[in-house]
Structure 1
């Protein structure tokens, strides 16, 4: 994988130099990186000026514009605050944060998606600077190399790293930690083509792959390969939260089920880029958006994410004086099930459905125009995104498409099963289609029904952002949705176009045997083109999301499409 490094040297009233070069897989935690290509820009609705101390500090450094402006998977509230942040714990500082839900088990393999927690407690051998898959740096490993065939990877482990329970984190500890991960689930390891691992010495850790894996380095930055203390696991077991011990900037100090998770800054943390400042973080568990809103207004909590547009407007109206920032949520394509609905086996029908749905109008109705109408099935500007001009509203053309295959809109009939979390979008789509005569029966999913229909193909159209897609994992959804035995099969070209389906499977195989990120990404994009040109899925609306942060705190930075707060960047 290509990675880039750049070093910013800013001297008082002198000059800045940006130099870019191919990286040799050596750790780095300093500097400013090459700006990424702009995508969608987060906008700050209200903010407060930095205090005089911060202003004075900023005069000692020449501040470049934010080089990451415009990425929806990375939100930096104030670039100057990032550049001038301290790199030490501020005694007595406390952040009260609204956690979106409880995390009963805090072991890394049980909560890999809870980035707001695991990103701050655990670490992998590597990390992605600013969540950039093309800028991977050393974390627990200070440097690494691979063989010419990409099958043997050798990692040099930093000296002096300890888990927050005080035990040593060396190559032997990492090997033991991976053994525990493998016991908890073989696929946590093997899905990255890992066949074996071994500590050659305290400093050297060697991993063998069965076949090349273009996203292996990314896997080492998080997910299931975060490293937990093997001593704590041996002492307490793999199902006990007392074993939830990592090497990260924070450690879990206490947990009260359904109430809170308390983190403390690690006094002996080692990596400058992720050095914590806020001493104590209280994650208060909230289950309702309205409750978060009330707690923010009276000052019971300092920060949280909200997706409720009404809460966003209410905070503005009631004079919330902190930072209130809008960005865009993850992509949410609309898929067609040609197995469930025979009419969807005809290309003209799928395309006509696209022509009948006015997503700009839906965006205005549901999100007051604050969402983003997609011109591709993946998030605009993300690594796997392919723009298309084929997704547009034109009901007259839709009628002509159906007439060309001898159909009327009323000939198309299907049932839509929906749940509370996606109810509004399904109802909006229903209203747009039935206006032109498409017949749709609606059925709300019983909350007690614990097997979602998508898991066994009992759906007609499917709208959801929960498929594993992100800027750093553009390959992930195809594992869940493409193959005949896929967990949530969404691609049904095997029914109506077997030749195309075979081409898609060839691309899938190429993704999982690619040696480089660039080649793998090319194959992901080709799969996307196949689906988009075939109208197997169409873009819909990426909903707006909002981050809230008290004016007392500086340097709010959020990673991933879920906008997980990175606590180690915050300070007062």
Structure 2
């Protein structure tokens, strides 16, 4: 247990946009990894630009798949790394990637994966059994992988030959196959991951990183040896970093950017109405929350937190801060989650109920709180303005402070805040791994709220080995009831990821768990 907790603590770096564990089919064979439309033409064809420029608001921290620590890194890894299996774009299944198919033994302890013929790394070297063993053993080593704690079900890995991988489990595990889609299980060339330098990592995904100037840009080039050329259409994709929303929008409108990630919500109506641009919205499984440091005296009472939940009109946040590109949630998981407790209605907007709860908590005369948000983030600023107005109706004065992203993250980890905004997603069809960040305190201190509940932790640990689908769902339903009542996090909405692009950009694919994918993205000229 100590080794497990140590690995999970390391995984606390994943503050947002992480990781699912999976209820996948017991035995399956996979199709193409993207699960989406294919393209038959290459970038060399007439009319397709050699390069597309994509802009995002922050750079990747690192690109080692065993150390990937945030949603931005996850997207980067998905572009140039590939594992044996991959979560389908729509979140409904697990598909083959480097593995064409796989079998599962009747006792659920042995998974045998059958790889595609002729697999090569981008440098032209063949993918061998040694590379596979190196990569997967690295993924399960707690000294080398922050995800090792999520793969403790693996008892052994063998490669009888270069195209067969046999994974043995120490017990039947409901989430193994979904966990196996995590980026940490990507295959790299033997020994290429030891230096920590992206230039040394030899990968076999659709693209590889040809150049990286930190906090400026990352240049992806098409892997000439990728097994499915139809999934890498454009020769080069340059991902630039433009942190400020206004600057990013200006560069996009000036034509320096072809596709803009993190599109400011307040500019969406203007961009949608302009025939020079296209706005595409994609559903996500990222739940947004208002989070409380329960160790801060002012919000240590669950009655205060419940009062603030009742004082919050989520519909106003969806319309006012997200231009309608979001859906309300009633529990701490997303609306597509099979583990979601559909019997919970969440907190409805009720100012009088909020006032009553504040009075019961000793704050009949009002309360002053501080909300800490990310500087330069227009959506968070709009949320803060709306909450300030809403909570004032219940007698709460909300002061807003802004910090750069790195400082704010450190403050949350250190418990140096009262109220914050946060989110959590998953990278597989099953959400249990990601939601463990909330219900199992040793991982991320209750998503940096300081919240801990003995019953939730017992239920979570029991659910990790529960193979009965109904019993497992009952455990998670109860955990959601407990969290909703104690309200360390107020679940608000699942937002859509919205991208603005010039009208000559097409083929954009989106994966529910990993974000935008480069496969068929192209620009006509």
Tell me the TM-score range normalised by the shorter chain.
Answer: 0.7 to 0.9
* Aligned mate of 2:197, from 240, 244, 249: 240
In the alignment, what sits opposite 2:8?
A: none
Tell me how far 1:532 sits from its aligned partner.
2.0
Tell me how far 1:281 sits from its aligned partner.
1.7
CA contact (8 A) 2:155 2:169 kept: yes
CA contact (8 A) 1:189 1:225 kept: no
1:326/1:229 CA distance change after superposition, 3 Å? same
**1:93 partner SS:** coil
TM-score by length of 2: 0.80
Tell me how far 1:392 sits from its aligned partner.
0.8
* Aligned mate of 1:267, from 224, 236, 249: 224
Deviating more after overlay: 442-451 vs 163-172? 442-451
Tell me how far 1:97 sits from its aligned partner.
1.7
1:335/1:368 CA distance change after superposition, 3 Å? same
CA contact (8 A) 2:218 2:240 kept: yes
In the alignment, what sits opposite 1:569?
A: 520
In the alignment, what sits opposite 1:11?
A: none
CA contact (8 A) 2:67 2:146 kept: no
Q: Distance in 1 between matches of 2:361 and 2:166?
A: 63
In the alignment, what sits opposite 2:156?
A: 196
1:327/1:124 CA distance change after superposition, 3 Å? closer
CA contact (8 A) 2:49 2:234 kept: yes
Question: Is the aligned partner of 1:351 residue 2:311?
Answer: no
Structure 1: state its 5+ residue gaps. 5-22, 33-75, 77-81, 495-500
Matches within 5 A, 1:110-129: 110-111=67-68, 113=71, 114-129=73-88
Q: Distance in 2 between matches of 1:406 and 1:519?
A: 36
**2:445 partner SS:** coil
Q: Could you report, residue by residue, the CA deviation over 1:99-150 in whole angstroms, capped at 9, with x for unpaired residues?
A: 4333364332344633442212110111122242x42122222232334443
**1:124 partner SS:** coil
Matches within 5 A, 1:142-181: 142-181=100-139
Question: Is the aligned partner of 1:506 residue 2:458?
Answer: yes
Tell me how far 1:445 sits from its aligned partner.
5.0
CA contact (8 A) 1:164 1:246 kept: yes
Q: Could you report, residue by residue, the CA deviation over 1:174-232 in whole angstroms, capped at 9, with x for unpaired residues?
A: 10223444376244334211343232332332223344432221222232111112164
Q: How many residues align?
A: 489
In the alignment, what sits opposite 2:11?
A: none
Tell me how far 1:557 sits from its aligned partner.
1.2
Tell me how far 1:370 sits from its aligned partner.
4.6
CA contact (8 A) 2:508 2:516 kept: yes
**1:464 partner SS:** strand
CA contact (8 A) 2:287 2:334 kept: yes
1:271/1:210 CA distance change after superposition, 3 Å? same
TM-score by length of 1: 0.74
Q: Distance in 2 between matches of 1:386 and 1:380?
A: 10
CA contact (8 A) 2:441 2:451 kept: no
Runs of 4+ in 1 over 6 A off after TM superposition: 516-519
Q: Distance in 2 between matches of 1:361 and 1:448?
A: 28
Q: Distance in 2 between matches of 1:406 and 1:565?
A: 45
Matches within 5 A, 1:364-383: 364-383=319-338
In the alignment, what sits opposite 1:225?
A: 185
In the alignment, what sits opposite 1:526?
A: 478
Q: Which has the higher contact order (CA 8 A, sep 6+)?
A: 2
1:184/1:323 CA distance change after superposition, 3 Å? farther
